[in-house]
C-alpha cells in the first residue's frame, strides 16, 4: 500500500462542530433559553388573565373581586418580579410570555401614567378639594389652614369629629369660606353661596352624605359630599364591604335623580374606580384623576399611599386638572381638581 496519500484522513467534515465542542455548546444554550422558564411563562400568562378578567373574580366569597380591584394597579409589581426572574433564568420563553400581562396592564393603566393636567380652567374654572380629615387628627387648625391655602373654591371635609371639635375647622375656614354647611360628620365650605342643602340617606343609620347647590358665577352646580362606610380585610370574613356596597347603591340613586345637569361628587368612597361595587356611582360620573390627572393619585394611607379611595367625580363638567395635596395630620391625603364650567 506504499504511496497511498493519507494526509486527508480525518479531514472529512471539518466544517461540522466536534462533539462536545464550542458549536455544540452554543446550540445547546440557544435551545436552552427557550426550554428554560416554562413555569415563569405560565405564571406570566396567569397574571395577564387575572388583570384582564378581574371582573370575573367572584365577590361571593369574601368579596375577593373587590379586594383585587382595589389594588389592581399593583399587579404591575408582579410583572417586574417575573421580569427579574426571567432575566436571571435567561429564559426567552418567559420574556415573550411577559408581553401578555405587560400589554394588558398598559391597556388598563397606561393612560394614568401620562400627565394630562391642564391648568386651572381659566376664568370659567372651579377648583374643588376633598379631604378625610380623620376624627383623631391632632392638628385640625393646621389642617384647615393648609387646605385653605390651596385656593380651592369649594372644600369638602369628611370624618369630622364631634360638633365641639369641628368648630376648629369652621373658625379656621371662616375668613376664606363664608358659606358652609355641616351635616353629621361631613361638611361643605364654599366661596360661593350655598342653597338647597339637604342630607342624602344612604341607609347606614347616621348622616354621612349630603347635597347642596353652589351658585358659581357661571351657573349653579350640584355638589354631593359622601363618606361611604369603611371596609375591612379580615382573615375569616375576607373583604367585608357589604354596608359600603349598599350605601353606594343609595348614593347612585340620589345622583341619578339629580335635576341639575352639572354635578360634582366629593368624598371618601372607601373604594377605587376599578371596584365593581361602586358601579352605581362610577357608571354615572367621570373621575377627574382618570381624565385630567398625572399618575394614579393614590390618597391612602398617607404615609405610603397604595390606593385612591378619595374621589372627585363630575357629570356635565369638563375636568381640567387633578392632583393630590401635601400630607396633613390625617391618614388620608387631600385630593384636588379643577373643572371648567
Residue-by-residue DSSP string for 165-214? HHHHHHHHHTTT--EEEEETTEEEEESS-EEEEEE---SSSS--EEEEEE
- Provide CB contacts within 8 A for 97, sequence distance 6+: 40, 41, 42, 44, 45
Q: What is the pLDDT of residues 198-247, one digit of tens each?
A: 999 999 999 999 999 999 999 999 999 999 998 877 655 556 788 999 99
User: Which stretch of 11-25, 279-293, 297-311 has the lowest confidence by average pLDDT?
Assistant: 11-25
Does the pLDDT of residue 166 top 60, yes or no? yes
Bridge partners for 318 per DSSP: 340
Q: What is the mean pLDDT of residues 17-32?
A: 56
Say whether pLDDT at 41 is over 60. yes
Overall fold of domain 122-340: Deoxyribonuclease I; Chain A (3.60.10)
Residues forming CATH 3.60.10.10 domain(s) in the chain? 122-340
- Is pLDDT of 12 > 50? no
Taking the C-alpha atoms of residue 26 and residue 31, their distance in angstroms, rounded to an integer, is 9
Query: What confidence tens digit (pLDDT) does each residue in 118-135 have?
Result: 877 778 899 999 999 999
- Give percent of the chain above pLDDT 70: 87
Q: Which residue has the higher pLDDT, 6 or 130?
A: 130
CA–CA separation, 216 and 263 (whole Å) = 13
Confirm if 256 and 284 have CB atoms less than 8 A apart: yes
Amino acid at each position: 500500500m506504499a504511496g497511498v496519500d493519507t494526509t486527508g484522513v480525518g479531514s472529512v467534515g471539518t466544517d461540522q462542530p466536534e462533539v462536545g465542542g464550542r458549536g455544540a455548546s452554543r446550540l445547546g444554550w440557544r435551545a436552552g433559553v427557550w426550554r428554560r422558564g416554562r413555569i415563569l411563562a405560565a405564571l406570566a400568562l396567569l397574571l395577564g388573565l387575572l388583570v384582564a378578567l378581574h371582573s370575573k373574580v367572584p365577590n361571593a366569597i369574601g368579596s375577593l373581586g373587590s379586594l383585587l380591584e382595589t389594588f389592581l394597579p399593583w399587579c404591575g409589581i408582579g410583572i417586574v418580579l417575573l421580569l427579574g426572574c426571567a432575566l436571571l433564568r435567561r429564559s426567552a420563553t418567559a420574556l415573550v410570555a411577559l408581553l401578555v400581562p405587560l400589554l394588558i396592564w398598559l391597556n388598563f393603566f397606561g393612560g394614568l401614567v401620562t400627565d394630562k393636567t391642564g391648568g386651572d380652567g381659566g376664568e370659567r374654572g372651579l377648583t374643588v378639594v376633598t379631604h378625610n380629615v380623620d376624627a383623631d387628627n391632632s392638628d385640625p387648625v393646621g389642617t384647615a389652614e393648609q387646605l385653605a391655602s390651596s385656593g380651592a373654591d369649594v372644600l369638602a371635609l369628611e370624618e369630622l369629629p364631634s360638633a365641639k371639635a369641628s368648630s376648629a375647622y369652621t373658625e379656621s375656614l371662616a375668613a376664606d369660606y363664608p358659606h358652609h354647611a355641616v351635616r353629621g360628620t361631613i361638611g361643605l365650605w364654599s366661596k360661593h353661596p350655598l342653597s338647597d342643602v339637604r342630607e342624602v340617606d344612604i341607609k347606614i343609620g347616621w348622616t354621612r352624605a349630603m347635597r347642596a347647590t353652589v351658585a358659581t358665577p357661571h351657573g349653579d352646580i350640584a355638589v354631593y359630599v359622601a363618606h361611604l362606610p369603611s371596609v375591612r380585610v379580615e382573615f375569616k370574613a375576607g373583604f367585608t364591604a357589604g354596608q359600603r356596597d349598599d350605601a353606594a347603591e343609595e348614593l347612585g340613586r340620589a345622583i341619578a335623580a339629580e335635576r341639575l345637569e352639572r354635578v360634582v361628587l366629593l368624598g371618601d368612597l372607601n373604594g377605587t374606580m376599578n371596584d365593581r361595587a361602586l358601579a352605581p356611582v362610577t357608571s354615572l360620573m367621570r373621575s377627574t384623576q382618570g381624565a385630567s390627572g398625572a399618575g394614579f393619585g393614590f390618597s391612602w394611607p398617607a404615609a405610603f399611599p397604595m390606593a385612591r379611595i378619595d374621589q372627585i367625580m363630575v357629570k356635565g363638567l369638563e375636568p381640567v386638572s387633578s392632583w393630590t395635596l401635601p400630607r396633613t395630620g390625617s391618614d388620608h391625603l387631600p385630593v384636588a381638581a379643577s373643572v371648567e364650567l
